[in-house]
Amino acid sequence: MRPPMNKLARLSLLMLALMGGAAMAAPVCEIDPVSHKILVLESDTGRGGIGGTGSPATPALSAKGTGGIGGSGAPTPPALAANGSGGIGGTGAPVRVPFAGRVMFAHGTVLAENSVGGARKLSSGQPVCEGDSIDAGQDSLVQLAMADGGRLDLRSHSRLHLDRFVFPDNMDGSERFSATLAWGSVHAITGSIGHLHKELYALHTPLAQIGVRGTSHEVFHVPRAQPGVAAGTYNRVLTGGTTLSSSSGSLDLDPSQSGFVPLGGGAPQLLPHLPAALIHSTVAQTVSNQLNSADDAGAAAIFLKPLNKIVQNVDTTTQAPRGSAYVGSSQDLDGNEVRVGGAINHRRNRSVIVLDPIWGLPSAVADTSNGFNFFTTDVNILYDFGFAKVDGVDVIWGLYGGGNDVDPNSGAIRNVDFHHFAYAPGGITHSAILNNLSGTATFGNLVGSTILTDETGGAGGKLNALQIGVQFGPQIRITSYQLNANDSQARTWDAQFNGSVDLSTFRAGKLPLTVQCSGTGCGSGTGTGSAAGVIIGNSGKGIITSYGLQTNTGQQVGGAAVVSRP
């Protein structure tokens, strides 16, 4: 039986999921009615207003008294503002509305139109506010971290309006979450509002309302029928539960169940499964389509089989931020093999890193140029976990006690008993920075590492020392790799490389190692291995790396680590 995930690791993951999400205060968005720029303030003084046009105040803003009359900026009386009879005039003072969250990741053309009519392009870190209408264009995606710790992932060709978002300092029953999906699809994970006061949380479409029971779920609204997809609203539950309601009835949905409300009206229907066309309108499929597009014809992906199998087996709705880096080491005990490699999820590198929608941990990776891949459908099999900040970027490392990968040549799914990984979300060092570096550097400060796993299924020991030499310049090369470690059997492992490999070879897990094992149970005592790695950090001062070591008689260990330089 696999041991449960460490409680501290589980707590740490929860903290990571909420960082930048749950606010300590009740901040507000201050919108300039002329420039439409948004400033996030710590609290609302109630002195916002709309000025200049003489138009009635927007009911959604004014009904709560948070809007106002231009000139003095005094709050508008709700009874007056709700019917739009309050005149507006004066200087055009900023409008204040509740802050709703921030953009975690945006790809393609993602626009937000605010409550005073201003449109802006969304990018990572920017705020979203009550009253915003968010549009994801063709081949576009946006992921929002809501202020209550929830998440919204809006996919290509979708529009979502944030109708109400109230998240007070204290959860006193005044909190609200309401959003309307006009068309397209959204993956929603409830935060504090949906968990503590489920009746105050609702997602709407033109046909239906979806209530939750502590949930991760997907909503699709199809205004016009498509091949294989009837027009209407679809709701699929991933975890927890939802209640899909229409004017003709309601339907409770449990995990893995899907419901449908047809465009012509009627009671919600339980479906055996979602239409295949909706299931495959996910991030990984979008990327797969992009890989085969005309402008990639000159550098076509070599290995698409792993990506296709991952799309079929994993919830691929959430992709890591662009520029994220990943390395892994997969141990197959029955096959007596350690498979090592890495990926950067950038279209130019033809790689995909998918995150678990609940925990935000990597659940699948596929590099379609070097064939490296891994996937798991259960991140609760996490044995080991750590995180740190290196050269200004976050780094997470861990050990999964199971999973699968795909033979990139045959497409066959293979067993993985242990998978070590290191992951830096959005953490690669930009080429412009790397190209300005020169000379040699030694990355020898061991920031963190996973415990080692061996051929018997044992897990333990530690990585004692790791040094990686890099020659910077027009052609960046890895010139050395020196490792010393002890495993759970008290054997000592030494591995080294002296030579020259480029960064793509290093990322692909093809840096060759000469291996020596000493102690009882080392067999021949000598063998070979391989290592993968990616340079990370704002200034190129970190490396995430994974390795696999094996003697000529089958003894083996694997691991992952993070090192840095001054």
For the segment 382-435, what is each residue's pLDDT rounded down to a tens digit? 878 888 999 999 999 999 999 999 998 888 999 999 999 999 999 999 989 999
- DSSP 8-state secondary structure symbol assigned to residue 161: E
pLDDT (0 to 100) of residue 227: 86
Burial state string for 353-383 with b = 16 or more CB within 10 A and e = fewer than 16: bbbbbbbbbbbbbbbbbbbbbbbbeebebbb
Which helix (H) or strand (E) segment holds residue 140: the answer is none
Model confidence over 349-378: pLDDT tens digits? 567 899 887 677 899 999 877 889 999 977
Q: Which of 203, 204, 205 is nearest to 188 (CA)?
A: 203
Q: Which of 342, 386, 338, 321 is nearest to 535 (CA)?
A: 342
Structure-token pair, residue 77: 């009386």
**Side-chain half-sphere CA neighbours of 306 within 13 A:** 28
Q: How far is CA 204 from CA 61, 87, 179, 180, 220, in A?
A: 19, 31, 6, 4, 11
Other Cβ atoms less than 10 A from the Cβ of 55: the count is 13
Structure-token pair, residue 269: 């229907």
Confidence of residue 318 (pLDDT cuts 50, 70, 90): confident
- Three-state DSSP at 536 gives strand
Q: How far is CA 555 from CA 144, 332, 464, 480, 550, in A?
A: 46, 12, 19, 24, 6
String of DSSP letters for 336-372: TEEEEEEEE--GGGTEEEEE-TTT--EEEEEETTT--
On the 0-12 / 13-18 / 19+ scale of CB atoms within 10 A, 228 is: exposed
Model confidence over 76-120: pLDDT tens digits? 333 333 333 333 343 467 888 889 998 877 778 899 988 776 788
Label the pairing between strands 38-41 and 28-31: antiparallel
Give the length of the chain: 566
Asked if residues 67 and 81 have their Cβ atoms less than 8 Å apart, the reply is yes
pLDDT (0 to 100) of residue 347: 52
pLDDT (0 to 100) of residue 361: 85
Dihedral-angle region of residue 548 (phi above 0 means left; psi in -120 to 50 means alpha; beta otherwise): beta
Confidence of residue 290 (pLDDT cuts 50, 70, 90): very low
Distance CA(432)–CA(22), nearest Å, equals 35
Confidence of residue 73 (pLDDT cuts 50, 70, 90): very low
Where do we find the tokens 């920017």? 126
Sign of the four-CA dihedral 102, 103, 109, 110? negative
To the question of pTM greater than 0.85 for the whole model, the response is no
pLDDT (0 to 100) of residue 63: 33
Amino acid at position 322, single letter: R
Q: Helix, strand, coil % (nearest 5) of the chain?
A: 15, 45, 40
Distance CA(37)–CA(26), nearest Å, equals 20
Amino acid at position 165, single letter: F
Question: Which residue segments constitute the domains of the chain, with CATH numbers given?
Answer: 95-278 (2.60.120.1440), 324-564 (no CATH)
String of DSSP letters for 462-480: EEEEEEEEEEESSS-EEEE
Distance CA(328)–CA(363), nearest Å, equals 12
pLDDT (0 to 100) of residue 114: 83
Model confidence over 21-33: pLDDT tens digits? 333 457 888 888 7
Confidence of residue 470 (pLDDT cuts 50, 70, 90): very high
Which helix (H) or strand (E) segment holds residue 307: the answer is helix 305-313
Other Cβ atoms less than 10 A from the Cβ of 125: the count is 11
Which helix (H) or strand (E) segment holds residue 193: the answer is helix 192-196
Asked if residues 66 and 46 have their Cβ atoms less than 8 Å apart, the reply is yes
